[in-house]
Amino acid sequence: MSSAGQWRSRGGFLLAAIGFAVGLGNIWRFPYMTGENGGGLFVAVYLACALVIGVPVVIAELLIGRHGGGSPPLAFDRLATDHGRSGRWRHVGHLNLLAAVLITFLYLVVTGWVLAYLARSVGEGFAGFGALAADAEFSALLADPSRLVGWTWLALLLSMLVIRAGVQQGIERTVLVVMPLLFLLLLALVAYNAAEGGFGQAVDYLFQADFSHLTGTTVLAAISQAFFSIGVAMAGMMTFGAYLPREIPLVSCALIIVLADTLVAVVAGLVIFPMVFAQGLDAAGGPGLIFQTLPVAFAQMPGGHVVSGAFFLLLSLAAITSLVGLLEAQTSWLIDSRGMQRNGAAAVVTAVNLAGSLVGALSYNVFADVSIGTFNLSTLLDALPNQLLLPLGGMFIAVFAGWLLPAAVTREEVQGQRFHTIWRALIRVVAPVAIVVTLVSGISL
């Protein structure tokens, strides 16, 4: 068991793991990826990828974390050496942590955008906003270094307050309050949309799939979204697994986590697309769907001021709970590998992310013209972890759990002979092949 702590209850663990998985990937990225990739067709392929690839890899991460009893590098090292494998497998854990750190640098910035828009919603609101005003508002935020850095660092401060308090008193206590509130806000916004119009069109858009238009691009986008949304190979799930008592079954937990994550993503579509369709806006709005398209919808709808506040509060809660998972993985590693106390480890993690997120925030303004190869700085910070490190880390996790760990070990965690056989086939063959294809495609892009 990790020296960093242990969950008090199964419910606390599940809410924390779901909170880590449910974030901007569900409520920001999933809707615009759906809009860019054909609506219901993308949703259907995404659901298949989440179940066939996401569930087996989440089980593998929880298994490695709990059986290894530590942060990702320590867990890999213990399991590898215990079963006659090279201790160099610990570097897969380092790869996962590197991905978590790089993702955090930019995730903090995007969370800062969300907090800025939450403040705008509560204050002035978006009354009178048209497309030009919405574009100008977002552009002004990105162009202002001090404002962008301030909101970014506020996101870091809020997250680290939770981390510093520890597993039970910080993370578990927070998610027991925040996650039910998040779910209530989500359902309230769906109910509002069902009453206000555009809901039927959104349902058709999300759930009518024409498979005659299926392409490799759609499949690759769905696999990539499943990785990003569920949090595969970001070190957080493995770290949370290390805090999990032995008596709690992994398989049911993994299924609940992935299904809850997927449900939130789909329901988020029922929050966003009715507003878009009711106001005659573009569903394929890309990454600006939340920050440039929706403010126009809020300006035109009845009760838009209240709805916008509820929406950006929902998005803020989702973003913070995901940041907690990313930052806890970094903190746990310092506690395990350097023997640090939690307060000292949290201080180091804060300092690293203050510097990294500063670079991330300035990549949109002061460093906007800085490029490395063919990538500008903000694009590189996004592409390197998401298109390279996550698929690479996921592939190594699948290979390690499926091929290097003895079946007797994995059977202890994946209980039930039939399910263990299915899981082992998926983690040994299906997941690695899908991940390699995604990895190669990401590099070629």
* 376 DSSP β-pair partners: 371
User: pLDDT (tens digit, 0 to 9) for every residue of the chain, 445 residues total?
Assistant: 555 678 999 999 999 999 999 998 888 889 888 888 889 999 999 999 999 999 999 999 999 999 999 999 999 999 999 999 999 999 999 999 999 999 999 999 999 999 999 999 999 999 999 999 999 999 999 999 999 999 999 999 999 999 999 999 999 999 999 999 999 999 999 999 999 888 999 999 999 988 888 888 888 888 888 888 898 899 999 999 999 998 999 999 999 999 999 999 999 999 999 998 988 888 877 778 899 999 999 999 989 999 999 999 999 999 999 999 999 999 999 999 999 999 999 999 999 999 999 999 999 999 999 988 888 999 999 889 988 899 899 999 999 999 999 999 999 889 888 999 999 999 999 999 988 887 787 665 5
The answer to whether domain 10-444 has CATH 1.10.10 is no
Query: CA 11 to CA 9: how far, in whole Å?
Result: 5
CA nearest neighbour of 74 among 334, 363, 380, 340: 334
Evaluated on CA atoms 411, 416, 419, 421, the torsion sign reads positive
Per-domain residue ranges for the chain? 10-444
User: Which residue type is seen at 439?
Assistant: L
With beta carbons less than 8 A apart as the criterion, state whether 383 and 99 touch. no
Tokens of 285: 């709005």
Q: What are phi and psi of 375, to 5 degrees?
A: -105, 135
Query: CA 220 to CA 439: how far, in whole Å?
Result: 10
pTM above 0.85, yes or no: yes
